[in-house]
Amino acid sequence: MPIKNPYSNTMIADLPDPETIRPEEILQSFENKDIDLICVLGPTASGKTRYAVALARELNRLRGVNASEGSVNAGAEILSGDSRQVYRGMDIGTGKDLSEYEEIPYHLIDIVDAGTKFDLYQYQKAFEKAYKDIIDRGGIPILCGGSGLYLEAATCGYSIPDVPQSPELRAELEAKSTEELISMLAGLKPLHNKTDIDTRKRLIRALEIAIWQKDHQVENTSYLPKKTYYIGTLVSREERNRRIDARLDARIAEGMADEVKGLLDSGIPAENLTYYGLEYKFVTQYVLGVLSLEEMKTLLGNAIHQFAKRQMTWFRGMERKGIKIHWVEP
């Protein structure tokens, strides 16, 4: 039976034609070893987590698995593909919505303390460990998230360098303009990968890696690509922005500012929270009195709208690289 997206009345404009996803066919492909991973991706506020949970339940039903009765070893399990949900204590701002999972096991959420830096290299290693554990127990892994680079690293087996972060170097680089940073990076390596200069955060990390590699031998991860069945959740831009604004209001009412204040009071420096971007950047500025409530809401709302647009741009870029995404608007 087709799986219904929780938001089923959305009109799609200027986006791919939606497909009908049949879980029985996905399960057959998995049992035949034609695929070994399912990936549910989509921009923020597109309902991907609920969709992934619904898909997991349907796969369990088809397999005769009742996770609530303890037969989870052969069931579907969800791996988070969100770069910020790994942090403990960052719950409201990252939208973990753990209650949505109910009986479905989840992984790669709340695995490191807030205030620390958990980079792509560490994420890929953690993903591979959790993925192997699910496969070894006969389960069905479903990767779900919106962090495009993390999803690609997990599914495509990217080779990621193990380079430590340097607060001193980052502070020095932060003082430079974006143009200066791009020029510095171009002097150290060919700029084949546009993702290195997609944002200042990635640009600084790319420079950090390139500078380190000049004088050090670097270990890289080495994992095989997965045979992935990609599902993308679609919403129109207008509906997506409406949901983003409504969700932002709900998170503020839920106590997002109190969450950030608690993190600051626990000893996490403001610059560490700001590093995480979006909610934690602007709400930190609000808590510190730099922004008024209305300024924070306006700036943060606009930033999330732009972030969602960049996510869709990334996913369409994956398609241009030859990755087949089965888009759904059930």
Q: One digit per residue, pLDDT tens: the chain, 330 residues?
A: 444 443 333 333 357 889 999 999 999 999 999 999 999 999 999 999 999 999 999 999 999 997 666 554 579 999 999 999 999 999 999 999 899 999 999 999 999 999 998 999 999 999 999 999 999 999 999 999 999 999 999 999 988 877 887 888 888 888 888 898 888 888 888 876 666 677 787 788 888 888 888 888 777 777 889 999 999 999 999 999 999 999 999 999 999 999 999 999 999 999 999 999 999 999 999 999 999 999 999 999 999 999 999 999 999 999 999 999 999 985
Q: Considering only CA atoms, which of 87, 125, 119 is closest in space to residue 206?
A: 119
Same CATH fold assignment for domains 23-159+222-235+310-328 and 239-307: no
Give the integer Cα–Cα distance in Å for 327 and 17: 7
The two structure tokens encoding residue 281: 């950047």
Secondary structure (H, E, C), the chain: CCCCCCCCCCCCCCCCCCCCCCHHHHHHHHHCCCCCEEEEECCCCCCHHHHHHHHHHHHHHHHCCCHHHCCHHHCEEEEECCCCCCEECCCCCCCCCHHHCCCCCEECCCCEECCCCCCHHHHHHHHHHHHHHHHHCCCEEEEEECCHHHHHHHHHCCCCECCCCCHHHHHHHHCCCHHHHHHHHHHHCCCCCHHHHCCHHHHHHHHHHHHHHHHCCCCECCCCCCCEEEEEECCCHHHHHHHHHHHHHHHHHHCHHHHHHHHHHCCCCHHHHHHCCHHHHHHHHHHCCCCCHHHHHHHHHHHHHHHHHHHHHHHHHHHHCCCCEEEECC
Strands 76-80 and 140-145: parallel
Q: Is the pTM of this model over 0.85?
A: no
Burial 265-297 (b: 16+ CB within 10 A, else e): eeebebebbeebbbbbbbbbbbbeeebeeeebb
pLDDT of residue 11: 38
Neighbours of 22 (CB within 10 A): 13
Give the list of residues 6+ apart from residue 257 with CB closer than 8 angstroms, or none. 283, 286, 287
Residue 54: what residue type? A
Domain boundaries, the chain: 23-159+222-235+310-328, 167-215, 239-307
What pLDDT sits at residue 69? 62
Which tokens hold the place of 47?
């309902």
Burial 141-153 (b: 16+ CB within 10 A, else e): bbbbbbbbbbbbb
Query: How far does CA 72 lie from the centroid of its chain?
Result: 25
The answer to whether the beta carbons of residues 102 and 166 sit under 8 Å apart is no
Treating both helix axes as pointing N-terminal to C-terminal, what angle do 48-63 and 23-31 enclose, rounded to 10 degrees? 60
What does the block give as tokens for 45? 């506020």
| Overall fold of domain 239-307 | Helix Hairpins (1.10.287)
Measured distance CA(123)–CA(150) in Å, rounded: 8
23-159+222-235+310-328: CATH topology: Rossmann fold (3.40.50)
User: Rounded to whole angstroms, what are the CA distances from 73 to 70, 111, 131, 224, 249?
Assistant: 8, 21, 13, 24, 39
Cα distance between residue 272 and residue 115, in whole Å = 6
CB-based contact 280:92 (threshold 8 Å): no
- CA dist., res. 160 & res. 122, Å (int): 9
